[in-house]
Amino acid sequence: MSNKDWTDKLPALLEGLEEAAPEGLWDAVQAGVRPARRRVAAGWWYAAAALAVAAAVVLAVLLWKPADSSAPGAPVAPVLVSPVPEGRLVEGSVPETLPSVLETHPEAPKPPVPCSSAPILAVEAPQTPDSCLSADDKPEREQKPVSPLPEEEKNASREQNEPQTLPKKPAPQVEPVRWPTGAPAKKRKGVWQVGVSGGGLLAQASSTSAGIGLPFPDTKASTIPIDALTRNVASTTESRHRQGLRGSVLINYRFAKRWSVGTGLSVSSLISEFTTTAGNSIQATIQNTLYLGIPLNVQFNILDIRRFQLYATGGPMVELPFYRHTSTGQWVGSQTVESSSSQPRIRPFDPQGWRWSVNLAAGVQFQLFSHGALFVQPGVCWHIPGQGTEEDVYSSRPVAFDLNLGFRFLLF
């Protein structure tokens, strides 16, 4: 007898087994049921709920992706086939694809198979549970383990089942930047220097000359009576020459480790005083001339230790007169007779009034902070004789000591 014989007999056995309901049961049920109230106002709640359910179903369909059974390593779902009645199974009807599938997935789990004497046709035959096996069959299963495939065949089968994808283009390789080897050159401090200084010649000149009478002034003619009084009187003239404060702005550029060149502008004031005495008459004249100088210096650093620097500098300089002022006064005894002032016209671009000189100095510089330093620069100045028509300190003392004090801005 097969397993389904008793299920076929159930309908026949259950025919006529019906029990009538007791009287009055349906009337009691209908009396307890109340008629449903019609809710018109809450209809939109049902519509919203229906839309939400529809949206959830659509999202579930779009987002759900079934597992790809062709991917390597994916578990193979067991296929259960209903048992075939006896007499319908023909020898040799098992599909030929069964060995290839088993070879491809030898390690796939085998689902249990219900106890049945009929053979089962399936891609992967389900296993018979141990409860349905006899004591003789169990040792046979344990004694016949499935031999695993060689490693090479496993790899070959995996390569066959893997989906073929187009080869990716290799990413463009960028060659790394090759920086020059070696430490970078250290940036020198004070490549450009701007100095502001003040100083002058440490010398004065004086001279005495003899004559007759007072010199005739350049201005008013009211001095003619004084000139007439002292015309035949012996006179003595004293001259004193000096240089006032000189201001300079110089720029130096360091073109080598120890060498630098510089130029700039300087303004010098030359003061001359002339006093002539003839008897009891006196005439005094003060003359102030301003010169614009353009130096050209070459500097050599002798010693450079941290903040301290010792250097030597020298070069030529030309000075052009551009302003002159003269004041004159005359006295007879203690009474002032005449006083006047004038500004004679000067031609600064006339080479005859230019003054050439050569300077040589040694300087000491002390750096106060990273961009500033104090310096003291004593030296010697030589003015070439035979220049100009005016008597001043340059012509009276061609060689003189010079001193400059100032502050330098150290630029990078």
Give me the CATH code for the 192-411 domain, please. 2.40.160.20
CB-CB neighbours of 49 under 10 Å = 10
Query: Which helix (H) or strand (E) is 278 found in, with range?
Result: strand 259-278
Which of these, 294, 287, 195, 194, lies nearest to 244 by C-alpha position?
Answer: 287
pLDDT at 393 over 70: yes
pLDDT band at residue 388, thresholds of 50, 70 and 90? confident
Contact between 381 and 357 under an 8 Å Cβ cutoff? The reply is: yes
Each residue's pLDDT tens digit, 95-116: 444 444 444 445 555 555 554 4
pLDDT band at residue 88, thresholds of 50, 70 and 90? very low
Each residue's pLDDT tens digit, 112-167: 555 444 444 444 445 555 555 555 555 544 444 555 556 666 666 666 665 556 56
> Whole-model pTM above 0.75?
no
Chain-centroid distance of CA 378 in Å reads 45
Which of these, 228, 221, 223, 266, lies nearest to 377 by C-alpha position?
Answer: 266
d(C-alpha 286, C-alpha 263), whole Å: 32
When computed from its CA atoms, the radius of gyration of the chain, rounded to whole angstroms, is: 63
Higher pLDDT, 270 or 66: 270
Query: Which helix (H) or strand (E) is 375 found in, with range?
Result: strand 372-383
Each residue's pLDDT tens digit, 224-273: 567 667 777 888 999 999 999 899 999 999 999 899 999 999 999 999 99
Q: What is the per-residue pLDDT for 52?
A: 83
Mean pLDDT across the stretch 4-11? Answer: 68
pLDDT at 221 over 50: no
Average pLDDT of every residue of the chain: 75
pLDDT band at residue 292, thresholds of 50, 70 and 90? very high
